[in-house]
Amino acid sequence: MLQYLECSVVTPLLILCKSSVTHRISYESWLASRGLMLSPFHVRWQTTMFNRLFAYCARINPQVLYLWFSSGLVFGVVAMLGSVVLLIKTLQQTFAQMTTDNPRIGGQQALQVVVPGVNLPTSQLAYFFIALLLSGVIHELGHAVAALREQVRVNGFGMFVFVVYPGAFVDLFTTHLNLISPAQQLRIFCAGVWHNFVLCVAALAFLFLLPVFLFPMYSTGGGALITEVVQGSAADGPRGLSVGDIVTGLEDCPVRGVEDWTSCLSHLSHTPQTGYCVPVASLQPSWAHGRAYKRLDGTMDCCSNNSLTDLCFSYIKPQVSLFCVLQYACMPVRRMVTGTRVCRTDADCASHSHATSVCVTPSLENQTRFFRVTHPPNTHMLFVGYPPHLQYAVSLTNFVPRFGFLHLDLPVFLETFCKYVVSLSGALAVVNSVPCFALDGQWMLNALLEATLVTVVTDRQKRELIGFFLLLAGSALLAANVALGLWMVTAR
């Protein structure tokens, strides 16, 4: 009988019962009667209760189902070739990253090994496992319905856990499977990756249309809603950001959603520090806290007492002389920037103010920026630091509840879950398409060779030998990607 890859966990009860001669027979009978099978690191459950559902689905509009699974056949063959190209490209990128000092060479990897607790946050494990199980069930549903449509008996459907990873499988009657044509076999074998691809597209469409679905309850486009603030971070504190605040701007960069928030922080990180228009009368010498001194990176500081409320500003004092002298003053930062306009030069201030004003610029260390975070009706949050640090200090969403009883995290849950379904279902479609031993790609390749090479290579043993070496190459390619991917993840 044809069975797909299965997995599970070990328990002390398993060892105890199997070691006991008295209880071993009754124990194994009890497991068999409930469709359970236990082994080290592996627990599996199989049932026939869903066979009627599969049979019902296989009888729905036979012509449409034929076109549906024929489309899956075409997709599966293309995906098998595409997965090989993708793995080769990913392997080249990994080698490039290993042989260079620049970790960003090659850009984002197309495939990445996911290790819970290493590069997968423990807070998102539930999303990962539920999305993985859903993707596996939809995958096997495709195999089961396609098999019944091609008159191949389904012995049962089951689920398993390998170590901690959940999955699903179908048990097909091998005798029936060997009697049908290679094209019919291809439709069955390709149905799994085809359904994973369809699930991936459906989740992507749902994610794209989520603002439309949630429109009666949540609004978008009015700012980025804070859903979490990391305790002790740059955004935390009495005058920082709080859960429920709506950020509408970062300095003079408007924020209408999370995408704007990210792009504004990136823009502030890579542009020179902006200045602020301050009346000349406000620049009193008594505000200075000492002579300016040069930091190790070459920048100037004039607040020698490391005050949390004062900041060193630089400006060019208006003089009759032809020479412009850069001066520094340590001033109360919130008083200086409240209600003032941003500027680049003194000319920007002259065009918007009747009083004589100058453009003062915070004198900060390299890559450090000062800017105001607008989150009405609260006063501005003043940020001094490296802008990307603020991005990791808060979690945001585009969806703002229209009613007070609505939960802030519902859209976040739907967004996160859809993203995991897209990535995991897409990954299952790619990995299972690889011509590799013990994966769907093995059966897909064998059926494809039987359907295409039967007139060219008439000897069946030669066709099997060709398939063996192709599977060997595909298995080595996948194993190399997984091994190097794990090494890259654990070496960081």
**Predicted local confidence at residue 324, as pLDDT:** 66
> With contact defined as beta carbons under 8 Å apart, do 158 and 169 qualify?
yes
pLDDT lower than 50: segments of the chain? 1-16, 103-107, 286-288
3-state secondary structure of 48: coil
Cα 453 to its chain centre, rounded Å, is: 41
Q: Measure the CA–CA gap between 463 and 453, rounded to whole angstroms.
A: 7
Q: Peptide bond before 377: cis, by omega within 30 degrees of 0?
A: yes
User: Which of 43, 34, 53 has its CA nearest to residue 144?
Assistant: 53
Give Cα separations from 342 to 105, 251, 301, 347, 370 (angstroms): 37, 8, 21, 12, 12
Q: Measure the CA–CA gap between 251 and 265, rounded to whole angstroms.
A: 10
Locus of tokens 């519902």: 410
Domains annotated on the chain, with CATH? 51-209+414-431 (no CATH), 221-271+371-398 (2.30.42.10), 274-363 (no CATH)
| DSSP secondary structure, 243-257, as one string | TT-EE-EETTEE-SS
Q: Measure the CA–CA gap between 377 and 173, rounded to whole angstroms.
A: 67
DSSP 383: E
Q: Measure the CA–CA gap between 230 and 251, rounded to whole angstroms.
A: 22
Helices (H), 150-181: 174-179
Which member of 140, 150, 251, 450 is catalytic? 140
> With contact defined as beta carbons under 8 Å apart, do 79 and 430 qualify?
yes
Active site residue 140: yes
Alpha carbon distance, N-terminus to C-terminus of the chain: 43
**Predicted local confidence at residue 353, as pLDDT:** 61
